[in-house]
Amino acid sequence: MSNNDNERVALAFSGGLDTTVCVPLLEEEYGYDEVIGVTVDVGQPAEEFAEAEETAEALNLEHYVVDAKDEFADLCFDAVRANASYQGYPLGTALARPVIAKAILEVAEEQGCTGLAHGCTGKGNDQLRFEAVWRDSDLEVIAPVRELGLTREFEQEYAAERDLPVEGGDEGKYSIDTNLWSRSIEGSELEEPSYVPPEDIYQWTTAPTGETEEIQIGFEDGYPVSLNGSEMAPVELIEELNDLAGDYGVGRSDIMEDRMLGLKVRENYEHPAATVLLNAHRALEDLVLTKEERAFKKQIDHEWSEKGYQGLVNAPLVGALEGFIDETQTRVTGTVTVRLEGGQARPVGRDSTYAVYSAEAASFNTEDVTGGIEQNDATGVAKYHGFQERLANRVIDSQNEE
């Protein structure tokens, strides 16, 4: 396969084991003359960038870091407007992948690369999400781990043989993916559905104590815009809420997840900010949307979440769904009070000038918005209510008697 001499390939690079072994493999097995590493910042912790930087230096790898935090946070807020969740998972990894893939493609094109590579395995979702973006370009798409059938053991031996700079330590035990919206912990004993996760898999959330705190989230057109009355940009708001709600143990999930290829896998996540914002947003929609809008939007939200999970947020279907979402969100403006308590973020108060609510109508003061409807007007409705059911039951009973 060494037909790529003098050509460059851009590798999605994290500094972890998979992407580190990809560097020599792209030269030796795929004949590339030069590999460049690209790390895209979607809110990973600082240590991850330090690790990527160090490993890149040790490998003598030309390394680019692209900041895509704002773009990613905007997409997370689109997800809030769609109440997006897949089987209880607010989609952090899934939503980040198209953003990362696009940023890497841009660097590859600027740097005159002819290939794009990722270190995903052939079992997960991420290979599909990356390639859905990359295969829209003319560049060669390479997945060394999948194509060469690499196992973790092989990678560890290969790295040791060549003295590649990888730490096999604690990082090796679980496979972790962190960004602004969620932290996913998988692998090792966690794969066993009956295994109870130890407390130390969590980094963003502490086990709930008896303490509580009430916070206020402001929304404008369905977008979260403020915390306790102070306006904040999306990245800042998410980071602040991860800290704040994480201290109350908010946003842990332990689910059985159906992957795109059909595998059913046990997954653990932490996502305090996502949980607070999703719960608050839903509470505000419940106040301002009609019953029919709420019911229909559930279906729209479900479809949005499916495409989000698939990494296909640029699908025409998503644009069409967002047409409906935009129309409904013009009224999703107001404030929600959320109580953080015992691992929960429970909406305990909501307020909006668009509330479909009238104190007079509810308490039946007749001179008001109801247009002169009086209590007694319900008598006719009450007489008809259940009419068809009564009739049907009578027919059934009489047939049974014969």
Can residue 78 be called a binding residue for ligand ARG (CB under 6 A)? Answer: no
Please pick, from the candidates 184, 275, 310, 329, the single residue that binds ligand ARG as defined by CB under 6 A. Answer: 184
Can residue 85 be called a binding residue for ligand ARG (CB under 6 A)? Answer: no
Can residue 310 be called a binding residue for ligand ARG (CB under 6 A)? Answer: no
Letters for 198-237 (x = contact with ligand ARG by CB under 6 A, - = none) are ----------------------------------------
Please say which residue, 146 or 339, places its beta carbon nearer to ligand ARG: 146
In 281-300, which positions are buried (b, 16+ CB within 10 angstroms) versus exposed (e)? bebbbebbbeeebeeebeeb
Q: Considering only CA atoms, which of 310, 321, 243 is closest in space to residue 98?
A: 310
Within 103-142, the residues that bind ligand ARG by CB under 6 A are: 125
- Amino acid letter at 364? F
- For Cα atoms 395, 401, 402, give the angle at the middle one, nearest 5 degrees: 95
Can residue 155 be called a binding residue for ligand ARG (CB under 6 A)? Answer: no
Residue 384 CB, nearest approach to ligand ARG (Å):
50
Q: Give the C-alpha distances (Å, rounded to integers) separating 266 from 184, 194, 311.
A: 11, 9, 20
Please say which residue, 179 or 242, places its beta carbon nearer to ligand ARG: 179
Can residue 186 be called a binding residue for ligand ARG (CB under 6 A)? Answer: yes
Can residue 20 be called a binding residue for ligand ARG (CB under 6 A)? Answer: no
Query: Segment contacting ligand ARG (CB under 6 A): 171-179, 230-238, 243-251, 368-376?
Result: 171-179
DSSP secondary structure letter of residue 274: H
Residue 183 CB, nearest approach to ligand ARG (Å):
9
Please say which residue, 57 or 189, places its beta carbon nearer to ligand ARG: 189
* Residues labelled as active-site residues: 18, 97, 126, 175
Can residue 177 be called a binding residue for ligand ARG (CB under 6 A)? Answer: yes
- Hey, what are 67's tokens? 């900041």
- For Cα atoms 233, 14, 89, give the angle at the middle one, nearest 5 degrees: 55
Q: Considering only CA atoms, which of 142, 136, 139 is closest in space to residue 113?
A: 139
Can residue 51 be called a binding residue for ligand ARG (CB under 6 A)? Answer: no
Q: What is the H or E stretch that residue 303 is in?
A: helix 291-310
Cα separation, 394 vs 373, in Å, equals: 33
Please say which residue, 88 or 323, places its beta carbon nearer to ligand ARG: 88
210 burial via Cβ count (<10 Å: 0-12, 13-18, 19+): exposed
Can residue 270 be called a binding residue for ligand ARG (CB under 6 A)? Answer: no
Cα separation, 400 vs 402, in Å, equals: 6
Query: Segment contacting ligand ARG (CB under 6 A): 170-178, 222-230, 330-338, 365-373?
Result: 170-178
The most distant pair of C-alpha atoms in the chain lies apart, rounded to whole Å, by 91
User: Which residue ranges make up the site for ligand ARG (CB under 6 A)?
Assistant: 93-94, 125, 175-177, 184, 186, 257, 267
